Amino acid sequence: GFPVDQPLYIHQETSIRKFLDGRNLVVSTGTGSGKTESFLMPILNSLLEERANGTLGPGVRAMLLYPMNALANDQLKRLRSVLRS
């Protein structure tokens, strides 16, 4: 799952704040620096809000593109872990 016992990096906090303000953004930072949390936490938050409001229905909310299958598979494992917790 997501690391919950450590503070957010600056780019994570900035991206989440921009998302909550309804703004688009691009996050570009090094490998292993927490980009996944920068975009997945806001996406999951939106889905949870829709479910809580009774407005969650079928349809595409986000599209994640990865340059390599290995990275896509790794991210899918992380997402499944987060959703189970």
6 has a pLDDT exceeding 70 = yes
Tell me if 44 sits within 8 A of 21, measured CB to CB: no
Mean pLDDT estimate for the chain: 87
Within a 10 A sphere around the Cβ of 34, how many other Cβ atoms? 18
Domain range list for the chain: 10-84
CA atoms within 13 A on the CB side of 6: 10
Nearest Cα to Cα of residue 42 among 60, 16, 22, 62: 16
Q: What is the pLDDT of residues 25-46, one digit of tens each?
A: 888 888 888 888 888 888 888 8
Confidence of residue 85 (pLDDT cuts 50, 70, 90): confident
Tell me if 27 sits within 8 A of 15, measured CB to CB: yes
